[in-house]
Structure 1
Amino acid sequence: MYEIFEQLLQKHGLSAYKVAKETGVTQSTLSDWKRGRSTPKTENMKKLADFFGVSVEYLMTGKNSEPLTKRDEKEIGAILSNTEALLRQEGLMFDGVPATPEAVESIISAMQVGMEMGKKRNKELYTPKKYKKDK
């Protein structure tokens, strides 16, 4: 995945330092990603993708799939809304510690990215050829 990030750096004539400074994603995060120790958290991936004007999916896989329809976005929004209400209830704990608002936001953000990628992947796999748009 870091290779795609490097390609975007070269394409835009930027350094990882400059991107880190502009996005607020720490250099240590990028360094760990480069060395394969970890991948940036969902919110950091979103910051990097937004900075380069690409999707998180592209940043992670190097591929862009069909965009989601309004119906898909509405379905995902409804699921996230219900989940968010559940996650914001009093008493939610992680390892015996009450969940912080930041933890809840991180979970919701990760779920959104996962559901969007899943919807796109399913469209790619299960849409009959006659209904696919030529790429």
Structure 2
Amino acid sequence: MMNRLKEMREVRGYTLDDVEGLTGIKRGTYSNYENGNTEPKLKTWQKLADFYGVSVPYLQGRYDHLTKKEALQVIHEVMTVCGISKEELKDRL
């Protein structure tokens, strides 16, 4: 089972430095979490899940799907990063 830390970071357009600045987790430590070299403590999993707006089990790779609320949050964040309005998204769909 592989965690989704790198996937979530990249989808949101964050660098390791960004994550360090936004969460206080050192970039090297976070990189080790991403690569499965070390395992975050439960408190850290929760902090990261809250940061990304997903559940701990999803972030840990235990589930293959997001809840509707989580999916909508990811879509909203991607739209914000890409500068796409709701109207433009509707037109594209």
Normalised-by-shorter TM-score class: 0.5 to 0.7
- The offset of 1:34, in angstroms, is 3.3
Counting only pairs closer than 5 Å after superposition, residues 17-32 of structure 1 correspond to structure 2 as 17-32=17-32
Q: Match of 2:52, as an amino acid?
A: F
Match of 2:60 in 1: 60
In the TM superposition, structure 1's runs of 4+ consecutive aligned residues that sit over 4 Å from their partners are: none
Q: Report SS of the residue matched to 1:32.
A: helix
In structure 2, list runs of 5 or more residues that go unmatched.
68-93
1:39 aligns with 2:48: no
Q: Report SS of the residue matched to 1:21.
A: helix
- Residues 79-127 of structure 1: CA deviation (Å, up to 9, x unaligned): xxxxxxxxxxxxxxxxxxxxxxxxxxxxxxxxxxxxxxxxxxxxxxxxx
TM-score, scaled relative to structure 2? 0.57
Paired with 1:24 and 1:51, the residues of 2 have a C-alpha distance of 11
- Residues 51-77 of structure 1: CA deviation (Å, up to 9, x unaligned): 1100111100152588xxxxxxxxxxx
Q: Report SS of the residue matched to 1:40.
A: coil
TM-score, scaled relative to structure 1? 0.41
Note closer, same or farther for the CA distance 1:38–1:18 as it changes in structure 2 (3 Å cut). same
For the pair shown, the structure with the greater C-alpha radius of gyration is: 1
Identity of aligned residues (%): 32
Are the aligned partners of 1:49 and 1:59 in contact in 2 as well (CA < 8 Å)?
yes
Aligned-pair RMSD on alpha carbons?
2.3
Paired with 1:13 and 1:45, the residues of 2 have a C-alpha distance of 20
Counting only pairs closer than 5 Å after superposition, residues 34-113 of structure 1 correspond to structure 2 as 34-61=34-61, 63=63, 64=65
The size of the alignment, in residue pairs, is: 65
Are the aligned partners of 2:5 and 2:34 in contact in 1 as well (CA < 8 Å)?
no
Are the aligned partners of 1:29 and 1:40 in contact in 2 as well (CA < 8 Å)?
no
In structure 1, list runs of 5 or more residues that go unmatched.
67-135
Give the number of the structure with larger relative contact order, counting CA–CA contacts within 8 Å between residues 6 or more apart: 2
Paired with 1:12 and 1:26, the residues of 2 have a C-alpha distance of 18
Paired with 1:65 and 1:53, the residues of 2 have a C-alpha distance of 10
